[in-house]
Amino acid sequence: MQKFNKLKSIPAYLPIVNIDTDMIIPKQFLKTIKRTGLGKNLFFEMRYDDQGKEINDFALNQNPYNGSKILIAGKNFGCGSSREHAPWALLDFGITCIISSSYADIFYSNCFKNGILPIILEEEKIKELSEYANRKEEISVDLKEEKVVYGNNETKFKVDPFKKKCLLEGLDDIALSLKKSDKIESFENDLKNTKPWIFND
């Protein structure tokens, strides 16, 4: 996984609440057996018309937002299906940081597995930051310091310490869990005695 430390970008702003994972990446693109290549289909139905032409009004089709690394969006971002294709599509497009006032649980957790930082800020701050998108001005994100810097201002955000460590160091959490193999094995041995039906024996 790619490490996440600091990031500077003109943010793109989508002032829509409850953006679901069907919107982020519609089902016809879930037929892939790869993680890559989904960026061109990100927000497909909002981004392209029936003929497959880019819709100019859509922010991510416009310069400089087509190169944004930070996406600001309305609350409850990523609700709906558990598809990890949603963060894969964002990542493939180049977005590695999302700022919203809330996220759906599964999407939130999927972001961290892919080197994407989902930041939670209050609605007021979101409105303030969206002005930087409108004015096409850069903002920067510092994960280590847990802060977003914009103009002469900065605002702090909170992130789970373990998730932060994994992002900063780009850790593979399967490898981390496998280091606890002894504990897993001892749990399984207990389980065989206390709940023998679990192992279908």
Partner 1 sequence: MSTTLYDKIWNDHLVDQQDDGTALLFVDRHLVHEVTSPQAFEGLRNSNRKVRHPNLTLAVADHNVPTTDRTKGISDKESKIQVDTLEANCKEFNIQLFGMDDKRQGIVHIIGPEQGFTQPGTVIVCGDSHTATHGAFGSLAFGIGTSEVEHVLATQTLVQKKAKNFRINVNGKLPLGVTSKDVILQIIGKIGTAGGTGCVIEYAGDLVRSLSVEQRMTICNMTIEGGARAGLIAPDEKIFKYLKGKPMSPKGDSWEKALNYWNNLKTDSDAIFDKEINLNAGEILPMITWGTSPQDVITINDKVPNPNSEKDEDKKNSIERSLKYMGLKPDMSATDIKIDKVFIGSCTNGRIEDLREAAKILKDKKISSHVNAIVVPGSGLVKEQAEQEGLDKIFVNSGFEWREPGCSMCLAMNADKLKPEERCASTSNRNFEGRQGRGGRTHLVSPGMAAAAAISGNLDDVRKYQN
Query: By the criterion CB under 8 A, which residues form the site for partner 1?
Result: 15-18, 20, 22-23, 26-28, 30-35, 45, 50, 74-76, 79-84, 87, 102-106, 109-110, 113-114, 160-162, 172-174, 177-178, 180, 183-184, 187-188, 191, 195-201
**What HEC string does the chain produce?**
CCCCCEEEECCEEECCCCCEHHHHCCHHHCCCCCCCCCHHHCCHHHHECCCCCECCCCHHHCCCHHHCCEEEECCCECECCCCCHHHHHHHHHCCCEEEECCECHHHHHHHHCCCCEEEECCHHHHHHHHHHHHCCCCEEEECCCCEEEECCEEEECCCCHHHHHHHHHCCCHHHHHHCCHHHHHHHHHHHHHHCHHHHCC
Instruction: State in angstroms the smallest separation of the CB of 184 from partner 1.
Output: 6
- Toward partner 1, which CB reaches closer, 50 or 63? 50
Instruction: State in angstroms the smallest separation of the CB of 38 from partner 1.
Output: 11
- Toward partner 1, which CB reaches closer, 9 or 100? 100
- Toward partner 1, which CB reaches closer, 8 or 16? 16
Q: Which two tokens stand for residue 115?
A: 């080197």
Instruction: State in angstroms the smallest separation of the CB of 136 from partner 1.
Output: 23
Give the CB-side neighbour count of residue 130, counting CA atoms within 13 A.
17
Instruction: State in angstroms the smallest separation of the CB of 86 from partner 1.
Output: 9
- Toward partner 1, which CB reaches closer, 79 or 139? 79
- Toward partner 1, which CB reaches closer, 62 or 82? 82
